[in-house]
Amino acid sequence: MKNSIRIIKKKLITLLIFANIITLCSIVESSEIDNSNEESCHCNSRTFDRQTNIKNYYKKEIQDSCLANDILHVYAKTVNSINHLKNMIKIKAGIFGIGTNDPIFIADGEGPKQQIYLNSFYIDKTEVSNHDFSKFVDATNYKTEAERFGDSFVFRGLLKQKDQKNITLVVAQAPWWLQVKNANWLHPEGPESDIKNRMDHPVIHVSWNDAIAYCNWLGKRLPTEAEWEVACRGGLSDRLYPWGNKLIPNGQYRANTWQGDFPNNNTKEDGYEGTSPVREFPPNKYGLYNMIGNVWEWTFDWWTIEITTRGGFVNPTGPSQGINKVKKGGSYLCHKSYCFRYRCAARSQNTPDTTAGNLGFRCALSA
C-alpha cells in the first residue's frame, strides 16, 4: 500500500514539473522579445528565439530550462547518443604495450616498447567511408583542401596512360606519385573518375584538417597515436599484425596491401588494386576492420621520434607542437620490399594539409 502511494506521488510530482515547464514556455512564447542576435531553439515542438541580450536574461533562463526538460529534446539527444556510438567499439581502460624492441625502421621511432595507461575510449569499427563523408558534406557544404587547392596526389598505376601524358609534377623521391589536377575525394583519379561504385570504400584525398572538421561535426575526435596502436593490436602483445605474426595466415588475406613487384606490377592477389570496402577483411579481436592496409589513417599527434616527448605514461597525446602529423597503418600501396609499414608499431608522417589517394581516417571518442 505504501509503495503504491509513493508511486502515485512520484507521478503527480512529475506531472506538476512538466505542467510548470509548459507554463514557463508559454510565458516566453507570448512575451515581446528583441530579435537581435537570436538563435533558434526547440522546446515542446515549438521554436523560440534564444536571446543573448542582457535585458532578456531571465527569459533565456526559462527557455534553457524548457529546452533541458523537454521530452522530445531529451529523446532526440538519447537517439543521437545511440547513433553516435553504433559504429564504435569501446576499449576499456588499462595498461597496454606500444612500440617495439625489434624496429624495422629505426629512424621512424618505432621503438622501444613501452607500457602506457589509457582511459577508456571508443573508436570507429571502420575507416570513414565515402558514404559517411558525403553526409557531412551534404550537411555543411564543406570543401576539402584538395578541392580548394585544385589538385591532389594519385598513384601512377591507377591512372590511364592518356591521363599521365600531360602531368609534369611528380614526387621526386617517389615518382609513382603524380599531382593530378582536380583529383579529390569525389574524383579519386581525376575529373573523369567518381565514387559512384565506391560508396563503401574509405574516403581518400582528405587532409588531417579535413579529418578534424569531420570529427568535430560529429562531436568526436581523431584517435591519439597510442589509442590507435592499442586498438590495432586487438588485445595481442608483441605481434606484427592485428591478428598475429603471419601476414597471410592459412593462405587467407587479412588486409589490403600490395602483392607483386612494387611499383610496377600489382598481382592483386588480395582482390584489390586500389582501396577496398571498409568491412572487406575480417576484424581483429576488438571488432575493428582494416587497422592495417587499405588507407593510411590520420591520428591526433604531432610527429616526433623522441620517446620522451610523446606524452609520458598516462594518456600520451604527443608533443604540443610540430610540423607533421602521425599517420598509422599503411595502405594498399605498402609492400615489404619498400614500405613495410603495415604493422601496428609502424608509423609515418605528413603535413596536416597533405592529401593523397591513400590517406583516410577513423574517429575516436573519450568514454
Tens digit of each residue's pLDDT (9 = 90 or more) over 186-215: 999 999 999 999 999 999 999 999 999 999
Over range 341-366, report the average pLDDT: 98
Grade residue 161 by pLDDT with cuts at 50, 70 and 90. Answer: confident
Kindly report the three-state secondary structure assignment for every residue of 264-306.
Answer: CEECCCCCCCCCCCCCCCCCCCCCCCCCCCCCEEEEEEECCCC
| Residue corresponding to grid cell 550537411 | 139
User: Residue 232 corresponds to which amino acid?
Assistant: C
Find where cell 507554463 sits.
23
With respect to CATH, is domain 85-366 assigned 3.40.50.970? no
Weakest-pLDDT range from 100-109, 162-171, 183-192: 162-171
190-191-197 Cα angle (round to 5): 85
Distance CA 346, CA 327 (A): 9
Answer yes or no: are the C-beta atoms of 119 and 93 closer than 8 Å. yes
Q: Measured in Å, how far apart are the chain's first and last C-alpha atoms?
A: 42
Confidence of residue 258 (pLDDT cuts 50, 70, 90): very high
- Residue 297: beta bridge partners? 328, 360
Q: For residue 99, with 0-12 CB atoms within 10 Å meaning exposed, 13-18 middle and 19 or more buried, which class applies?
A: buried
Enter the DSSP assignment of 307: G
pTM of the model: 0.79
What b/e sequence results for 223-240 when a residue is b if at least 16 CB atoms lie within 10 Å of its CB, and e otherwise?
bbbbbbbbbbbbebeebb
What are the tens digits of pLDDT across the range 4-55? 545 544 444 444 444 443 443 443 333 333 333 333 333 333 333 333 333 3
pLDDT value, residue 31? 36
Q: Are 242 and 344 in contact (CB under 8 A)?
A: yes
* 8 Å CB contact between 299 and 326: yes
pLDDT at residue number 126:
98
C-alpha distances in angstroms, 32 versus 6, 55, 74? 41, 12, 27
pLDDT of residue 82: 61
Q: Where along the chain do its domains lie?
A: 85-366
Q: Which residue type occupies 158?
A: L
Q: pLDDT (tens digit, 9 = 90+) per residue, 261-311?
A: 999 999 999 999 999 999 999 999 999 999 999 999 999 999 999 999 999
Mean pLDDT on 91-110? 97
Higher pLDDT, 342 or 308: 342
Q: What is the dihedral of CA 242, 311, 299, 91, to 10 degrees?
A: 50
Copy the grid coordinates of residue 123.
573508436
> CA-to-CA distance for 225 and 316, rounded, in angstroms?
8
Would you say 117 and 93 are in contact if contact means Cβ atoms under 8 Å apart? yes
3-class DSSP assignment, residue 61: helix
Count of residues in the chain: 367
pLDDT above 50 (res 59) = no
